[in-house]
Amino acid sequence: MERSNYRIECSDIMVGPLLPGAGTKDLLVHDRALAIAMAAKSVTIPYGREIRVVLESTGEVLFRKTAAFTSAGSFD
């Protein structure tokens, strides 16, 4: 059985407790649940940008996250 690859991606820098290093924009993970958990626990710099988990083979977006509030407390 072929392993699927999941890409955590963002147009800006991502930071988070589960990411291997600060300042990444793109990360390849071999486990779907781990990729989604890593994306869910991450934020972007500047705050509030979109983070996606994409199935590498098809380009299908499996998870998408944006912040509900900006740092000023208003809706995006």
| pLDDT single digits (tens) 3-38 | 789 999 999 999 999 998 778 899 999 999 999 999
Q: Is residue 12 part of a domain?
A: yes
Q: Is residue 29 part of a domain?
A: yes
Both tokens assigned to 18:
């589960």
Helix (H) or strand (E) holding 62: strand 61-65
Name the domain count of the chain: 1
Q: Is residue 1 part of a domain?
A: no
Q: Is residue 30 part of a domain?
A: yes
Q: Is residue 42 part of a domain?
A: yes
Residue 31: the pLDDT is: 96
The domain of 30 spans: 6-65
Residue 68: the pLDDT is: 61
Q: Is residue 18 part of a domain?
A: yes
